[in-house]
Amino acid sequence: MSKETALVRMAMNEKPGASAQAIQHHYDAGDDFYQLWLDETRTYSCALWDSQDESLESAQFRKLDYHIAQARAHDAERVLDVGCGWGSLAQRLVRAHGVQHVTGLTLSASQKAYIERQAWPGVEVRLENWFDHAPTGPYDAILSIGAFEHFARPSQSEAEKVQGYRDFFRRCHGWLKPGGWLSLQTMSYENSRREDFSDFFNKEIFPESDLPRLSEIAQASDRLFEIVTLRNDREHYARTLQVWRHRMKAHRAAAVAQVGESVVARYDRYLQLAMIGFHVGTMGLLRIAFRRLDRSLG
């Protein structure tokens, strides 16, 4: 993207990534539907597995605790959760890690309503794009799990994607206190190109969304954040998807009664195809810890 194009986009207040309508197409399928095949925390992202006989819920708590440790968020005063889902991370931060206040951002009206019904002390949820976020004060830590996949669109060039990602990292840099940390989890393109994937993912599952490459993330965060730790846990996602699919099959009749046969069949195909992609390595699962560079050159 040229500098002139970027300025025009900013002037028009065009937000990078998927629209609220596209996000709601997927995440507002129904809380009860997701509850049938997710774990009790409703954590809808790759778990962090430790043993063969571990439960899904245990592996999800391990993932949440891992990112909280990477973000140095334990006992923090203010933490931002970008893409907060049904609030499992926010709840964990407050209940298990002594965080005083968590602000969660989501574009799903269903997820926001669910979190508000729980009335968890110290947890605030906003139906808000990160692009529009204006905090009342600096954050001690920022976490984003399973949201970065929605920060770019398939129609964008690589340069446009990087520019949108850099908008995100610039904002995170400005929102964080000096020395603050950001922990990020995202799916990624690995041994593949955008053209190698079926249109099914973009048309039926995640409209207006495109995966990043590790190189694009590194370029977008350059001179704003130091990449301190990086791991690719694609096999962890293959296992997570396998467990989700098994749970959905076990509750298929209830799922069909809630959302219909066509929706259940669509999600079953999605889980199966994604599981294959992570297993063979066309997709990766990145967990990255970033340290804010206090003398930013960005």
**Nearest 10 degrees: Cα torsion 104, 29, 248, 194:** -80
**Rg (alpha carbons) of the chain, rounded to whole number:** 18
131, burial (CB in 10 Å: exposed 0-12, middle 13-18, buried 19+): middle
Low-confidence ranges of the chain (pLDDT < 50): 1-13, 25-26
Beta bridge partners of 229: 289
Structure confidence at residue 13 (pLDDT): 45
Structure confidence at residue 15 (pLDDT): 72
Structure confidence at residue 155 (pLDDT): 87
Structure confidence at residue 239 (pLDDT): 98
Structure confidence at residue 31 (pLDDT): 85
Structure confidence at residue 53 (pLDDT): 93
pLDDT (tens digit, 9 = 90+) per residue, 115-171? 999 999 999 999 999 999 999 999 999 999 999 999 999 889 999 999 999 999 999
Sign of the four-CA dihedral 194, 238, 214, 192: negative
Structure confidence at residue 236 (pLDDT): 98
Structure confidence at residue 11 (pLDDT): 37
Full DSSP string of 84-117: -TTSHHHHHHHHHH--SEEEEEES-HHHHHHHHH
Token pair, residue 188, equals 């990624």
Token pair, residue 284, equals 């990766």
Structure confidence at residue 136 (pLDDT): 93
Q: What are phi and psi of 194, to 5 degrees?
A: -55, -40
pTM: 0.90
DSSP secondary structure letter of residue 121: T
Q: Which residues contact 298 (CB under 8 A, 6 or more apart)?
A: 166, 169, 170, 173, 222, 223, 224
- Pick 3-292's CATH classification: 3.20.20.80, 3.40.50.150, 3.90.340.10, 3.40.50.720: 3.40.50.150
Structure confidence at residue 14 (pLDDT): 63
- Whether residue 257 contacts residue 264, with contact meaning beta carbons closer than 8 Å, is answered with no
d(CA 210, CA 193): 11
Structure confidence at residue 22 (pLDDT): 53
Structure confidence at residue 186 (pLDDT): 98
